[in-house]
């Protein structure tokens, strides 16, 4: 019997040492030490043994039981730590790996892309990009641009006036401070009529000249507002203003700059032309056109029919421009600029109009509908 106990102990010890997982070890514990195990049976049956065997069998059986229990718990500890280790290794996250790139969820709106394209071209010519306030003083929007109070041109732009009571205290004092700093002809205190939604980006001409000394080469993209709404007009739209002020700036510089810009926007082969026009704040004033890119300026298509884009004219109107009026220099704060020393040109154009021409969009309101079927065509 003692021999049998020793055999069980040996075999069990070998199996325990070879156990490869805690589940297997648990099975071995049940097999060798559980209620139905052979060793358990032997110990339970001691009372039935002949008297001379009870002592040695009981002693050896209990020793074997204790030894196996000790081996199992030792092996269990080994397996636990090995299993923890491998779990740690397989669960490890490499925090130094770069994150997965976010799936693309959208793209800039066609108007933003057009605006950026124009900015890029002008930055390439050495211009700086500036922005200005959309809620603007009448002073910068009109007065400093040579529209005296009551001037009929003020009426032609269908201005939105802002009730001063609707402005925050901070906005109002900022407006007051700006107007107080304004030039000679400037109304000094904003009252009822003096705050507007800017009707064009041109108010940034005088603001830019007040903010820095010449030479000045800036472009000012931004939103403007007019009471106007149809297929080619929206109450809110975008313009880009250009301003160059330095010594010896001439109309020829304006022509060259417009040509360069229009070729960047509409393609290398384009031509630019200027036609006489009137703006209160430029003298002389022009409107500028680009040669039609649908008919290459000829006015008729390959099949001899009249070009629909330029209506057979060969030219497409793009914007307004001119040489900065000396009176405008006079409105720059702190004594103004001396028109005998510096000259300048300015131009302005609508971003929506350029995008419509360039991409054949028939109705300006489509830019504002936010219909993804429309927007996705320009990704």
Q: Report the residue from 60, 115, 200, 270 that binds ligand PHE according to the rule CB under 6 A.
A: 200
The pattern of x and - marking residues 213 through 252 that bind ligand PHE according to CB under 6 A reads: ----------------------------x-----------
Please report whether residue 183 would count as binding ligand PHE according to CB under 6 A.
no
350: closest CA among 141, 133, 118, 120?
118
Collapsing DSSP to helix, strand or coil, 220 comes out as strand
Q: Report the residue from 186, 348, 354, 357 that binds ligand PHE according to the rule CB under 6 A.
A: 348
Instruction: Select from 45-53, 100-108, 301-309, 345-353 the region that touches ligand PHE (CB under 6 A).
Output: 345-353
Token digits for 81? 């730590």
218: closest CA among 129, 294, 156?
129
Please report whether residue 347 would count as binding ligand PHE according to CB under 6 A.
yes
- Shortest distance, position 108 Cβ to ligand PHE, whole Å: 24
CB 50 within 8 A of CB 104: no
- Kindly tell me the sign of the dihedral angle through the C-alpha atoms of 53, 59, 60, 66: positive
d(CA 31, CA 35): 9
Collapsing DSSP to helix, strand or coil, 323 comes out as strand
HSE-CB at 285 with a 13 A cutoff on CA atoms is 11
Please report whether residue 320 would count as binding ligand PHE according to CB under 6 A.
yes
State which residue, 159 or 202, has the beta carbon closest to ligand PHE. Answer: 202
State which residue, 130 or 346, has the beta carbon closest to ligand PHE. Answer: 346
CB 161 within 8 A of CB 199: no
Instruction: Select from 210-218, 249-257, 317-325, 336-344 the region that touches ligand PHE (CB under 6 A).
Output: 317-325
State which residue, 237 or 315, has the beta carbon closest to ligand PHE. Answer: 237
Sheet with strand 272-279: strands edge to edge: 128-129, 216-225, 236-246, 343-350, 315-324, 282-291, 272-279
Please report whether residue 141 would count as binding ligand PHE according to CB under 6 A.
no
The pattern of x and - marking residues 76 through 105 that bind ligand PHE according to CB under 6 A reads: ------------------------------
Please report whether residue 322 would count as binding ligand PHE according to CB under 6 A.
yes
Q: What residue is closest to ligand PHE based on CB?
A: 348
Please report whether residue 355 would count as binding ligand PHE according to CB under 6 A.
no
Please report whether residue 282 would count as binding ligand PHE according to CB under 6 A.
yes
- Shortest distance, position 95 Cβ to ligand PHE, whole Å: 54
Interaction with ligand PHE in 294-313: which residues (CB under 6 A)?
Answer: none
Q: Which helix (H) or strand (E) holds 356?
A: helix 351-359
CB 118 within 8 A of CB 125: no
DSSP 2-32: HHHHHHHHHHHHHHHHH--SHHHHHHHHHHH
State which residue, 217 or 279, has the beta carbon closest to ligand PHE. Answer: 279
Please tell me the count of residues contacting ligand PHE according to CB under 6 A.
11
169: closest CA among 148, 155, 147, 190?
190
- Shortest distance, position 199 Cβ to ligand PHE, whole Å: 7
d(CA 192, CA 207): 22
Instruction: Select from 53-61, 212-220, 256-264, 316-324 the region that touches ligand PHE (CB under 6 A).
Output: 316-324
Instruction: Select from 120-128, 165-173, 208-216, 318-326 the region that touches ligand PHE (CB under 6 A).
Output: 318-326
Instruction: Select from 63-71, 82-90, 310-318, 343-351 the region that touches ligand PHE (CB under 6 A).
Output: 343-351
**What are the residue ranges of helices labelled H in 181-267?**
203-211, 251-266
Contact residues for ligand PHE, defined by CB under 6 A: 200, 202, 241, 279, 282, 320-322, 346-348
């Amino acid at each position: 019997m003692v021999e049998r106990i020793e055999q069980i102990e040996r075999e069990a010890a070998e199996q325990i040492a070879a156990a490869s997982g805690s589940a297997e070890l648990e099975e071995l514990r049940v097999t060798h030490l559980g209620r139905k195990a052979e060793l358990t049976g032997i110990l339970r049956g001691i009372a039935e043994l002949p008297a001379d065997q009870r002592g040695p069998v009981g002693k050896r059986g209990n020793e074997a039981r204790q030894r196996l229990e000790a081996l199992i718990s030792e092996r269990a500890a080994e397996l636990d730590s090995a299993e923890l280790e491998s779990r740690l290794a397989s669960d490890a996250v490499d925090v130094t790996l770069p994150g997965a790139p976010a799936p693309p969820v959208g793209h800039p709106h066609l108007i933003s892309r057009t605006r950026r394209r124009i900015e890029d071209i002008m930055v390439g010519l050495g211009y700086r990009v500036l922005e200005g306030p959309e809620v603007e003083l009448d002073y910068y929007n009109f007065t400093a641009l040579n529209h005296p109070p009551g001037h009929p041109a003020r009426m032609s732009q269908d201005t939105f006036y802002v009730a001063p009571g609707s402005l925050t205290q901070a906005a109002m004092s900022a407006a007051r401070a700006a107007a107080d700093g304004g030039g000679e002809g400037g109304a000094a205190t904003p009252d009822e009529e003096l705050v507007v939604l800017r009707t064009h980006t041109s108010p940034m001409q005088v603001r830019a000249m007040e903010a820095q000394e010449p030479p000045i080469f800036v472009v000012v993209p931004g939103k403007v507002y007019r009471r106007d709404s149809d297929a080619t007009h929206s109450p809110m739209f975008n313009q880009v203003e250009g301003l160059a002020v330095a010594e010896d700036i001439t109309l020829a510089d304006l022509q060259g700059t417009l040509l360069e810009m229009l070729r960047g926007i509409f393609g290398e082969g384009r031509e630019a032309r200027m036609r006489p026009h009137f703006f209160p704040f430029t003298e002389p004033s022009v409107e500028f056109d680009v040669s039609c890119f649908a008919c290459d300026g000829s006015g008729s298509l390959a099949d001899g029919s009249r070009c629909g884009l330029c209506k057979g004219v060969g030219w497409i109107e793009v914007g307004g421009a001119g040489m900065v009026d000396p009176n405008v220099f006079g409105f720059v704060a702190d004594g103004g600029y001396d028109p005998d020393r510096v000259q300048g040109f300015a131009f302005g154009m609508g971003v929506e109009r350029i995008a419509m021409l360039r991409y054949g969009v028939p109705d300006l309101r489509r830019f504002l509908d936010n219909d993804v079927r429309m927007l996705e065509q320009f990704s």
